[in-house]
Amino acid sequence: MIVRALVAVSALIGALALPAAAAPASRGAGAELPARAFQAWCSASSLCTYVPTGDAGASSLRRGGARWAGADDRFTRAQARRAGGPVAYYPMMLGGIAVAVNVPGIQGHNVDLRGTTIAEIFSGTIRNWNDKRIRQTNLHHPLPRNLPITLCVPARPSGESWDFSEYLARVSAIFRRQVGGASPRPKWRAPKIVRTPRMTAVGDCMQANRGAITFLPIADAMREGLTSHVVAVGKRERVTHGKGVSARTVVRNVFTHPTGTAIAKAGRMSTARATSAPTLDLLNSPVPGAYPITTEAYAVTRSDRPINRLTLRTLRYFLSPAAQRRLQGLGYAPLPANLATVTRARLAAAR
């Protein structure tokens, strides 16, 4: 009896000494724009892992390397083919593409650029910081007399490039003619272009080159301490002055930084509109005060396969009030309540 007890105790001690088996995790991979949020959520919940593989996220769905993919727009035809089957989109957050500049003598945060001006810079039409179209919206700041503009852009295809070029194509006929429409690898046109090996390096490129301009997720700008370089982007809005019979409505340029509040405003839409298409369209939102280059991020699954229990639990957690509240401090905006309700209903129907 004593021997048996000693054996049992030894076995118990041995079991306690062994490392605990790693808890299963729902694997995600894909777009870089929502990576900071997905990784923070996975770390807080211990439900999942997320690797920002960019365009390769769709392929992971086909191979089974990931249970869900991160996306910042609807899959292109090529991505849809690589996914290997039909997919379902579940909106999880709102994000913004920031425009950042390195202009000596003026803090980027004080620079105002119309959307059309940005489009003409990235199409090579505006080539110098003393161009009159830049001066018109920055009359109170000392712009350099003769400083060529350098574009810092990612060399590899990216969802951020797609979103940014789609916005520029919408606001500028010149951009559409010179560069084309939305593309994960646009044919930017400028005298000086520096192509970085990855999207996450464009901020370093901007800082290293006088007169540089770039685009990147505002979440990345916050993480890299670049918010002082981020410009305000302008769009035309109807503004009403006065009330009643004396009210007067004018159309003017309103310049907005990619703050959480301005990004959230772009997500205001009717529930009917939110349910009418598998993905949202928030670029160049007409909502007053909305940041013009607002996009959305999704968790994407194969719709011809059942969502396993852990992945379903993971996606439900992403939509929880606690997870959504974390977004503001990470450089994103939470889903409006009606969009979150629509997404939960989609998940419930997918089971």
The secondary structure of 102-117 as a DSSP string is E-TTS-GGG-EEEHHH
Distance CA 27, CA 311 (A): 8
pLDDT for 324 equals: 97
pLDDT for 15 equals: 38
pLDDT-based confidence at 238, cuts 50/70/90? confident
pLDDT(253) > 90: no
pLDDT(13) > 50: no
pTM of the prediction? Answer: 0.87
For residue 193, count CB atoms less than 10 angstroms from its CB and return exposed for 0-12, middle for 13-18, buried for 19 or more.
middle
pLDDT-based confidence at 243, cuts 50/70/90? confident
pLDDT-based confidence at 195, cuts 50/70/90? very high
pLDDT for 9 equals: 39
pLDDT for 142 equals: 85
Distance CA 1, CA 206 (A): 75
Among residues 179, 139, 177, the alpha carbon closest in space to that of 162 is found at 179
Assign 334 to helix, strand or coil.
coil
pLDDT(14) > 50: no
| Residues 283-312: tens digit of each pLDDT | 999 999 999 999 999 999 999 999 999 999
pLDDT-based confidence at 276, cuts 50/70/90? confident
For residue 233, the Cα-to-chain-centroid distance in whole angstroms is 16
pLDDT-based confidence at 351, cuts 50/70/90? low
pLDDT(32) > 70: yes
Mean pLDDT, the chain, integer: 89
pLDDT for 11 equals: 41
Per the CB < 8 A criterion, the answer to whether 310 and 316 are in contact is: no
Per the CB < 8 A criterion, the answer to whether 230 and 99 are in contact is: yes
Distance CA 215, CA 167 (A): 12
pLDDT for 126 equals: 97
pLDDT-based confidence at 106, cuts 50/70/90? very high
Token digits of residue 317: 């957690």
pLDDT for 58 equals: 86
pLDDT for 326 equals: 95
- Edge-to-edge, what's the strand order for the sheet holding 232-241? 112-114, 232-241, 248-256
- Edge-to-edge, what's the strand order for the sheet holding 26-30? 48-51, 26-30, 68-71, 294-302, 87-102, 212-217, 150-154, 192-196
SS3 per-residue string spanning 242-286? CCHHHCEEEEEEEEECCCHHHHHHHCCCCHHHHHCCCCCCCCCCC
Per the CB < 8 A criterion, the answer to whether 151 and 212 are in contact is: yes
Q: Which CATH number fits domain 97-234: 3.40.50.300, 1.10.357.10, 3.65.10.10, 3.40.190.10?
A: 3.40.190.10
pLDDT for 23 equals: 58
Query: In sequence order, which ranges of the chain are alpha helices (DSSP H)?
Result: 2-17, 35-45, 57-63, 77-83, 115-122, 132-135, 159-171, 173-178, 202-208, 218-223, 260-266, 271-275, 309-318, 321-325, 337-350
The CATH 3.40.190.10 domain(s) of the chain lie at: 26-95+294-350, 97-234
Number of H helices and E strands in the chain, helices first, is: 15, 11
Looking at domain 26-95+294-350, its CATH superfamily turns out to be: Periplasmic binding protein-like II (3.40.190.10)
pLDDT(1) > 50: no
Distance CA 30, CA 60 (A): 8
pLDDT-based confidence at 347, cuts 50/70/90? very high
